[in-house]
Amino acid sequence: MQTLLLWLFYISSFYAFIPGMITRIFGFRVFRRGKGQQAFALTFDDGPDPHYTPQLLDLLKRYHAKGTFFVVGINAEQNPELIKRMYDEGHLIGIHNYTHKTNWLMSPNTVRNQIMKTDKILYDITGERTSYYRPPWGIINLFDFSKRNQFKIVLWSSMFGDWRESMGADRLATRMLNKLKPGEVMLLHDCGSTLGANPNAPEQMLIALERVLQEAQLRDLHSIRIDEMILAKENATETKLSRGKLAIVKLWLLWEMVFHFMFRLQTVTPNNPFLHYRLRAYQGDNITLDNGMILHKGDKVIELHFDNEKLFDIGLHSRSTVHLAIKMIRSMEKELPSLAQQIMDNDDFKDAKALYGVSMINRGPEKFGFSIRDLPEGWFAKSTGLYLKLLMRVIHPAGQDRLRESSEKLIPKMIIMPIEQLNKYYIVNGSHRNPSKKTNEQERGVEEQLLNVSLLGTPPVV
């Protein structure tokens, strides 16, 4: 009996669990995130619903937004007029099985029949075949990979729990606005009749979605169909990553999610993350900073971390090391005033003495008001150096060459700024000013100094 159960476990893992994990972590043979400057994607599952889908279509039309609907075949069969309206109004229609059943509990042949039956229903209504498929709950089995020549499997980059009415429009809108950025593939639901959903949940979704569409207009963002996003990504002239490098990036971003959860990092600008921070006690030797202040062991500091996904995106879209340096300078100039204001407004940070981070930038941060100090020799300095060199190899446009040419110069250092100095330089009547007024020539000098740039440290600082 134990042997039988063991074999059932092995078979089920190979058939369902392992394929599901590699698609979620590595995006293997699925599409789940796009590229671009001003476009995101709204996708809707489980419909059409005779009550909520017309309201959704009205909303999208009002804001000139295009969506992608992954429909359940039996719902499409019962509401052909809504499928026709989706098609006529320029939305993309994909398949979500004929009934809302998980692929893990169906044989490959049953899954195929579900897909083909739904495809025929859509063809009979619109006169056009679909090429896009999203399995219910995003759960695939091993044989779903064989469909990639006929159907593109589409998952998502963000979901919000909108199938629960208790989520409420306010909390849902906040979650969606935090993810409103180019390339995002948002998962929403225009039907509440599936297992685990609340029948009236789409009502809250519609309220939240209108707020998101209003904000998108203010940010000059627009929602496009999934096929348009896929095409834009395929046509993007950007750096191509090897599979090995891509796997490193995926694991690295997964680690960052775990790290942020474990240490409860806060974000300066949630809708466009660049800097994260947390309060902690400084554990190193006493340090005298450039302004004469002494940082003692046990003093409260605000530890800084770059957003790794943002850095990767900046590096991937930078034409050169100079371009990368300029983007980082501009981002820091925008973030520091907001960070200073958040620290001032939060009583939890009133005892913090300094900003603190770990960096391979040997020259440059002092122009923002930071003091640069060596890390004490030891395992932390060595492990941080290895980590940041790996980070540079992945992100920097010429990271491999920089490591080969000047590895001995890439030494992690502490960067520290007293809080009073942060306030002095970056909070002036709600705006900010830089530590010194830089001429264009001086600014170019900073950018040139940053050609050796790696990045602020992301490993936990102890």
Between β-strands 354-359 and 132-133, what pairing exists: parallel, antiparallel or unpaired?
Answer: unpaired
Among 136, 263, 239, CA closest to 187: 136
Match 């995002």 to its residue by tokens. 184
What is the arithmetic mean of pLDDT over 264-286?
89
**pLDDT above 70 (res 205):** yes
- pLDDT band of residue 214 (cuts 50, 70, 90) is very high
Between β-strands 300-306 and 413-418, what pairing exists: parallel, antiparallel or unpaired?
Answer: unpaired
Helix (H, G, I), strand (E, B) or coil at 371: strand
Enter the DSSP assignment of 321.
H
Is the pLDDT higher at 63 or at 234? 63
**pLDDT above 50 (res 87):** yes
384-407: pLDDT as tens digits: 556 555 655 555 544 444 444 444
Write the CB contacts of 139 (distance below 8 Å, at least 6 apart in sequence). 16, 20, 102, 103, 104
Residue 233, both tokens: 């990504």
Residue 289 identity:
L
State the chain's maximal CA–CA distance in angstroms.
79
- pLDDT band of residue 154 (cuts 50, 70, 90) is very high
| pLDDT recorded at residue 290 | 84
Would you please indicate which residues are annotated as catalytic (active-site) residues?
45, 189
Helix (H, G, I), strand (E, B) or coil at 324: helix
234-261: pLDDT as tens digits: 776 444 556 666 666 677 677 778 878 8
Asked which of 161-170, 319-328, 409-418 is least confident by mean pLDDT, the reply is 319-328
Cis peptide before 48 (omega within 30 of 0): yes
What is the rounded CA–CA span in Å between residue 86 and residue 75? 14
What is the rounded CA–CA span in Å between residue 64 and residue 436? 45
| pLDDT recorded at residue 438 | 44
What is the arithmetic mean of pLDDT over 81-103?
93
| pLDDT recorded at residue 457 | 37
What is the arithmetic mean of pLDDT over 36-49?
92
- pLDDT band of residue 319 (cuts 50, 70, 90) is low
What is the arithmetic mean of pLDDT over 37-61?
95
| pLDDT recorded at residue 74 | 96
What is the arithmetic mean of pLDDT over 404-424?
73
- The number of beta carbons lying within 10 Å of the beta carbon of residue 430 is 7
Write the CB contacts of 184 (distance below 8 Å, at least 6 apart in sequence). 33, 34, 40, 41, 157, 158
- pTM over 0.85? The answer is no
Enter the DSSP assignment of 428.
B
Residue 387 identity:
Y
Helical pair 308-316 and 321-345, crossing angle rounded to 10 deg: 150
**pLDDT above 80 (res 456):** no
Is the pLDDT higher at 26 or at 93? 93
Asked which of 33-42, 113-122, 164-173 is least confident by mean pLDDT, the reply is 33-42
> Please, are residues 456 and 372 in contact by the beta-carbon 8 Å criterion?
no
Helix-strand-coil split of the chain, %, nearest 5: 50, 15, 35
Among 362, 454, 352, 461, CA closest to 413: 362
Average pLDDT value for the chain: 78
Asked which of 109-113, 230-234, 354-358, 438-442 is least confident by mean pLDDT, the reply is 438-442
Compute CA 282 distance to the chain's CA centroid, rounded to the nearest angstrom: 30
DSSP secondary structure string for all residues of 258-286:
HHHHHHT-EESSTTS--EEEEEEE--S--
Among 80, 146, 91, CA closest to 115: 146
